[in-house]
Protein backbone atom coordinates (compact mmCIF):
# COMPACT_ATOMS: atom_id res chain seq x y z
CA UNK A 1 0.00 0.00 0.00
CA UNK A 2 1.38 3.38 -1.07
CA UNK A 3 0.02 6.50 0.64
CA UNK A 4 0.32 10.04 -0.70
CA UNK A 5 0.65 12.84 1.86
CA UNK A 6 -0.17 16.35 0.64
CA UNK A 7 1.30 19.07 2.82
CA UNK A 8 3.51 22.17 2.97
CA UNK A 9 5.49 24.56 5.17
CA UNK A 10 3.79 24.93 8.54
CA UNK A 11 2.18 21.49 8.85
CA UNK A 12 1.05 20.44 12.32
CA UNK A 13 4.06 18.33 13.28
CA UNK A 14 2.42 15.46 15.15
CA UNK A 15 -0.43 15.25 12.63
CA UNK A 16 2.14 14.51 9.95
CA UNK A 17 4.73 12.50 11.89
CA UNK A 18 2.60 10.24 14.10
CA UNK A 19 0.43 9.00 11.20
CA UNK A 20 3.57 8.64 9.03
CA UNK A 21 5.18 6.38 11.66
CA UNK A 22 1.87 4.55 12.18
CA UNK A 23 1.45 3.81 8.47
CA UNK A 24 5.08 2.69 8.21
CA UNK A 25 4.52 0.36 11.16
CA UNK A 26 1.77 -1.25 9.06
CA UNK A 27 4.25 -1.69 6.22
CA UNK A 28 2.63 1.04 4.11
CA UNK A 29 4.89 3.22 1.97
CA UNK A 30 4.55 6.95 2.68
CA UNK A 31 5.26 9.52 -0.05
CA UNK A 32 5.23 13.15 1.01
CA UNK A 33 4.32 15.72 -1.63
CA UNK A 34 4.46 19.52 -1.35
CA UNK A 35 4.34 22.35 -3.90
CA UNK A 36 8.08 21.84 -4.32
CA UNK A 37 10.03 18.75 -3.35
CA UNK A 38 12.70 19.02 -0.70
CA UNK A 39 12.69 19.98 2.96
CA UNK A 40 9.44 21.13 4.51
CA UNK A 41 9.26 22.51 8.05
CA UNK A 42 6.42 22.03 10.50
CA UNK A 43 4.95 24.59 12.90
CA UNK A 44 7.01 23.25 15.78
CA UNK A 45 10.20 22.92 13.76
CA UNK A 46 10.32 19.29 12.67
CA UNK A 47 11.68 18.88 9.14
CA UNK A 48 10.46 16.25 6.71
CA UNK A 49 11.60 15.60 3.19
CA UNK A 50 8.97 15.92 0.48
CA UNK A 51 10.13 13.28 -1.97
CA UNK A 52 7.95 14.59 -4.77
CA UNK A 53 6.26 17.80 -5.89
CA UNK A 54 2.49 17.96 -6.34
CA UNK A 55 3.00 18.23 -10.12
CA UNK A 56 4.92 14.95 -10.19
CA UNK A 57 2.30 12.98 -8.22
CA UNK A 58 0.49 10.53 -10.48
CA UNK A 59 -2.93 9.77 -8.95
CA UNK A 60 -2.86 6.17 -10.22
CA UNK A 61 0.37 5.48 -8.33
CA UNK A 62 -1.25 5.80 -4.90
CA UNK A 63 -3.62 3.59 -2.94
CA UNK A 64 -4.70 6.24 -0.46
CA UNK A 65 -4.48 9.96 0.33
CA UNK A 66 -3.64 11.58 3.66
CA UNK A 67 -3.81 15.30 4.49
CA UNK A 68 -2.32 16.42 7.83
CA UNK A 69 -3.41 19.68 9.45
CA UNK A 70 -1.85 23.04 10.04
CA UNK A 71 -3.32 26.16 8.43
CA UNK A 72 -1.23 25.30 5.37
CA UNK A 73 -3.88 22.75 4.38
CA UNK A 74 -6.30 25.63 3.70
CA UNK A 75 -3.72 27.52 1.68
CA UNK A 76 -3.05 24.43 -0.43
CA UNK A 77 -6.72 24.49 -1.46
CA UNK A 78 -6.02 27.70 -3.43
CA UNK A 79 -3.77 25.83 -5.85
CA UNK A 80 -5.67 24.46 -8.83
CA UNK A 81 -3.10 21.69 -9.41
CA UNK A 82 -3.68 20.39 -5.89
CA UNK A 83 -7.47 20.47 -6.25
CA UNK A 84 -7.13 18.57 -9.55
CA UNK A 85 -4.91 15.96 -7.89
CA UNK A 86 -7.32 15.40 -4.97
CA UNK A 87 -10.27 15.10 -7.40
CA UNK A 88 -8.40 12.62 -9.57
CA UNK A 89 -7.59 10.44 -6.56
CA UNK A 90 -11.24 10.62 -5.45
CA UNK A 91 -12.42 9.61 -8.93
CA UNK A 92 -10.24 6.51 -8.66
CA UNK A 93 -12.20 5.60 -5.51
CA UNK A 94 -9.16 5.70 -3.26
CA UNK A 95 -9.69 6.05 0.50
CA UNK A 96 -8.77 9.38 2.07
CA UNK A 97 -8.03 10.63 5.55
CA UNK A 98 -7.57 14.17 6.84
CA UNK A 99 -7.29 15.86 10.23
CA UNK A 100 -7.64 19.35 11.70
CA UNK A 101 -7.42 21.84 8.79
CA UNK A 102 -6.81 18.94 6.38
CA UNK A 103 -10.50 18.20 5.70
CA UNK A 104 -10.83 21.72 4.24
CA UNK A 105 -8.65 20.64 1.34
CA UNK A 106 -10.87 17.65 0.69
CA UNK A 107 -13.94 19.93 0.95
CA UNK A 108 -12.45 22.43 -1.50
CA UNK A 109 -12.07 19.58 -3.98
CA UNK A 110 -15.80 18.84 -3.40
CA UNK A 111 -14.96 15.40 -2.08
CA UNK A 112 -16.96 15.99 1.12
CA UNK A 113 -20.10 17.43 -0.48
CA UNK A 114 -23.12 15.92 1.29
CA UNK A 115 -20.88 13.69 3.38
CA UNK A 116 -20.41 13.49 7.13
CA UNK A 117 -17.04 14.83 8.27
CA UNK A 118 -15.23 16.60 11.07
CA UNK A 119 -12.32 19.05 11.40
CA UNK A 120 -10.74 21.49 13.86
CA UNK A 121 -13.60 23.31 15.62
CA UNK A 122 -12.39 26.77 14.60
CA UNK A 123 -12.92 25.95 10.92
CA UNK A 124 -16.12 23.93 11.22
CA UNK A 125 -18.12 26.77 9.61
CA UNK A 126 -15.84 26.69 6.57
CA UNK A 127 -16.32 22.94 6.30
CA UNK A 128 -20.09 23.30 6.39
CA UNK A 129 -20.05 26.17 3.86
CA UNK A 130 -18.07 23.86 1.57
CA UNK A 131 -20.98 21.40 1.69
CA UNK A 132 -19.98 18.83 4.30
CA UNK A 133 -22.22 17.62 7.11
CA UNK A 134 -20.16 18.58 10.16
CA UNK A 135 -20.02 16.36 13.24
CA UNK A 136 -18.13 17.14 16.43
CA UNK A 137 -16.57 13.68 16.99
CA UNK A 138 -12.95 12.50 17.41
CA UNK A 139 -13.28 10.57 14.16
CA UNK A 140 -15.94 10.44 11.45
CA UNK A 141 -16.01 7.70 8.82
CA UNK A 142 -18.24 8.22 5.77
CA UNK A 143 -17.67 5.54 3.16
CA UNK A 144 -13.94 5.47 2.57
CA UNK A 145 -13.29 8.97 3.91
CA UNK A 146 -11.97 9.37 7.47
CA UNK A 147 -11.74 12.77 9.15
CA UNK A 148 -10.66 13.92 12.58
CA UNK A 149 -10.42 17.09 14.68
CA UNK A 150 -7.06 17.53 16.41
CA UNK A 151 -3.86 15.79 17.62
CA UNK A 152 -5.49 14.32 20.76
CA UNK A 153 -7.86 12.40 18.44
CA UNK A 154 -4.96 10.62 16.69
CA UNK A 155 -5.50 7.31 18.56
CA UNK A 156 -9.11 6.91 17.35
CA UNK A 157 -8.31 8.51 14.00
CA UNK A 158 -5.47 6.10 13.24
CA UNK A 159 -7.48 3.07 14.33
CA UNK A 160 -10.22 3.86 11.81
CA UNK A 161 -7.85 5.09 9.09
CA UNK A 162 -5.69 1.97 9.14
CA UNK A 163 -8.87 -0.15 9.05
CA UNK A 164 -10.37 1.73 6.10
CA UNK A 165 -7.07 1.86 4.18
CA UNK A 166 -6.61 -1.91 4.69
CA UNK A 167 -10.16 -2.71 3.56
CA UNK A 168 -9.77 -0.93 0.25
Show which residues are catalytic.
100-101
Nearer to its own copies, 23 or 134 (CB): 23
Report the candidate in 26, 16, 25 with the shortest Cα–Cα distance to residue 67: 16
Nearer to its own copies, 143 or 155 (CB): 155
CB of 6 to its own copies, least distance (A): 21
In Å, what is the CA distance from 65 to each residue of 1, 3, 89, 122? 11, 6, 8, 23
* Cα–Cα dist 159/32, whole Å: 21
Binding site for its own copies (CB under 8 A): 13-14, 17-18, 21-22, 24-25, 44-46, 151, 154-156, 158-159
CB of 35 to its own copies, least distance (A): 24
Nearer to its own copies, 122 or 159 (CB): 159
Q: What is the DSSP letter of 97?
A: E
Amino acid sequence: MRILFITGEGFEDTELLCPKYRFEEEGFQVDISALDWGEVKGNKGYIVSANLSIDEAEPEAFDALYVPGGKVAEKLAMHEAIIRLVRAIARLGRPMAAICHGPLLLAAAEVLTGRRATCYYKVSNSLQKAGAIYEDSPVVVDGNIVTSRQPSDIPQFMKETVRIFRET
